[in-house]
Amino acid sequence: MSGNNIGGLQIYHSFLRGYNNMVEHREYMNRINVFPVADGDTGNNMLQTLKGIVSGVKPQRSASAVLEAMADLALQGSRGNSGIIISQYINGLSSKVTQDSLALEDFSNLLKEAVNDAYEAMETPQEGTILTVLKSWAHGLYSASKKSNPVSQAFSSALNSAKEALSKTPEQLKVLKDNGVVDAGAWGLVCFLKGIDAMGRHGLLPLSYRKQLDFSKELPPAESLAHMHDPVPTKRYCTEVLLENCLVDTPYLKDLLRPLGDSLVVSQGKRRTRIHIHSNDPSEIVRALQPLGSLVEQKADDMIRQRQTSHHRLSDVAVITDSIADIPLDIQDKYQIHMLPIRLLWDDEEYLDRITITPGEFYRLQAERTSFPGSSVPEAARVELYFRGLLDHYKALVVISVGKVLSGTHRQMTLVAEKINSQEKKSVFVVDSCLNSAAQGLLVREVAKAAMEGQSQEELLSLAEALKKRIKIYVSVSTFKYMVKGGRVSPLKGLLASMMNLKPIVSLDEQGKGIAFEKAFSQKGLFKKIAKIIQKTQDERGIERYILVHAQALDRAQLFGDILRKITGKEPDYIGEISPIVGMHSGQGAVAIGVIESQLPSLS
């Protein structure tokens, strides 16, 4: 680095070097991640945060212009506890730097002051974490600059301060000492600071230096990193929300959210505010924040599933589905089923199906609003990140999607799988279930059970293709109102059906297309029709097992259950709730029966 001043180009290229130095160590950070919970994603989150910055910012000579752009991108793309702390630090620094260029001593003084912003973002700042190392580095740089050291020497001295602070983190956090590791976020920061040190010694990089994340590099096994102390998280979801034009300040947000979870971090910039909190009910967080600004992004990572994935896998093959599959959470936990939520769009609001909007909240809003919600397939980038994260731990992924004729989700998952498989060993396999709701849930559960029992990826794919032909679904809706609103039934047909008190039974054909299977003109007649269908299936092909799901209609589901129990002599495997996405068209009061037939239907 020439001269003793810090400008926009120096800051820009320092970030490039720091980011690149972290890339190859992503998995190591995941591996030593035990605080605040051992969810094994610190490396992913820090890389995502920094990648969002270096891929979006443009090189400029002005320090204030570069930092302002970085601050905005950091808020937009920050992930996880450590990522949001980094975001707030950059935002704090950006608010203090107004010049195009600063002397090293002045710049390092502002770096030192910005540490306070990072601490203030935390509800309960904890020493022995990335905060401690960040503080040591900034204070070390300031002390070195005061001694009129050259830039290269000052950055090297500051790096040594950061390394010394990192080595002491196990003395400050018992969980680190118990597991024989340093803090993962702090370790990642030192990696980043090594890149900045190289910048101080070697100067600017070519603009073409940007590199993509390299997920193919493997680290040698680290036997000493076994997690001896691995408690189940007390809060299930690592919940993050990005607000635009937030109407309140950080203290107000902390007071509002403090009762709803822990590990709260609030990073606030000029236009955007990112909230990070560990919560058992992400929908509570979203409801609390909705009146305070525009919710432009939501994320809720399941830390219990992440813990299972990192340290307690039941299989070498992950079974993945989407949230249209109706599977109770306890069943998902038992078989370690990975579920990617579909996005639900309503007016100017966005939710994650099942996660940031619950069935109860959905049906309450559905009864109040005149507008009709919609759905959107998961973005390709999010699907790819999700798949690649799982491939860090599994040899292969078997993805069982909602029927492709019912949703674009199958195509999105297929395109992402093709991209990953073209870049490395083929390891992601997408199955078109030709099903949805209870039927899809049954298929996924059976495949996940087989994975747990040790079946290979090839065997699981064969099982899925064979089994889906023996699974049927019968759905009873109590009103045509929402089918009409959603365009599934014409207004005229809906009106006539209501006038006639028509109660349909809807099913899916072999391709997954919806069909009107039967109808009745009274509740009593409906039960008789269901009994007739089930009895015929039992007589002709047998019923191996069945489940029931409902839209806030447990009593009706139990009545249907009585019918099936009497005919089959078997209890349902489970009774669960229909997802909000499915409930958009079925409406409150719907009940779905999913059955696995003992034999394939006759071809004659």
> For position 546, which CATH number holds?
3.30.1180.10
Q: Is residue 565 part of a domain?
A: yes
Q: pLDDT tens, 426-473?
A: 899 999 999 999 999 999 999 999 999 999 999 999 999 999 999 999
* Confidence at 205, pLDDT banded by 50, 70, 90: low
Q: What is the CATH number of the domain that holds 22?
A: 1.25.40.340
* pLDDT band at residue 202 using 50, 70 and 90 as cut-offs: low
Asked if the structure places residue 310 within a domain, the reply is yes
Q: By the 8 A CB rule, do 81 and 276 touch?
A: yes
Residues 567 and 553 in one domain: yes
Whether residues 443 and 344 fall in one domain: yes
| CA-only gyration radius of the chain, Å | 27
Does the pLDDT of residue 41 top 90, yes or no?
A: no
Instruction: Indicate whether 442 and 499 sit together in one domain.
Output: no
- Which among 184, 207, 230 is the end of a domain? 207
Q: Is residue 268 domain-resident?
A: no
pLDDT-wise least confident of 521-525, 544-548, 595-599: 521-525
Say if 250 falls within a structural domain.
no
Residues 438 and 512 reside in one and the same domain: no
Domain boundary residue, one of 151, 178, 207 = 207
Residue 394 phi/psi, 5-degree rounding, is: -115, 150
**For position 308, what pLDDT does the model report?**
92
Question: Are 322 and 385 in the same domain?
Answer: yes
**Average pLDDT value for residue range 476-504:** 55
458 and 478: one domain?
no
| 216 domain residue, yes or no | no
Q: Do 86 and 174 share a domain, yes or no?
A: yes
Q: Are residues 32 and 163 in the same domain?
A: yes
Q: What is the mean pLDDT of the chain?
A: 87
253 in a structural domain = no
Verify that 158 and 69 share a domain, yes or no.
Answer: yes
Residues 483 and 458 reside in one and the same domain: no
In this prediction, residue 54 has a pLDDT band, given cuts at 50, 70 and 90, of confident
Q: What's the whole-number mean pLDDT along residues 198-212?
A: 61
CB 313 within 8 A of CB 394: yes
pLDDT over threshold 50, residue 388: yes
- The CATH number for 448's domain is 3.40.50.10170
The residues near 111 (Cβ < 8 Å, ≥ 6 apart) are 93, 138, 141, 142
Query: With 80 as the cut, is the pLDDT of residue 106 above it?
Result: yes
Query: Does 231 score more than 80 pLDDT?
Result: no
Looking at residue 24, the DSSP 8-state letter turns out to be T
Query: What is the residue range of 477's domain?
Result: 470-597
- Number of structural domains in the chain: 3
In a domain, 284, yes or no: no
Residue 465 lies in a domain: yes
List the alpha helices (DSSP H) in 500-541: 523-540
**At residue 509, what is the residue type?**
D
| The token pair that represents 45 in the structure block | 């989150």
Question: Which has more confidence, 79 or 288?
Answer: 288
Domain boundary among 207, 231, 256: 207
Q: What is the pLDDT of residue 134?
A: 96
Stretch among 70-79, 164-173, 212-221, 415-424 having the lowest mean pLDDT: 212-221
506: β partners: 475, 516
Q: Can you tell me the distance from the alpha carbon of 232 to that of 303, in angstroms, rounded to the nearest whole number?
A: 9
Same domain? For 497 and 528 the reply is yes
Residues 253-310 have pLDDT tens digits of 999 999 999 999 999 988 899 999 999 999 999 999 999 999 988 999 999 999 899 8
Say yes or no: 422 and 453 in one domain: yes
State the Cα–Cα distance between residues 412 and 398, nearest whole angstrom: 15
Helix then strand then coil, in percent of the chain rounded to 5, is 50, 20, 30
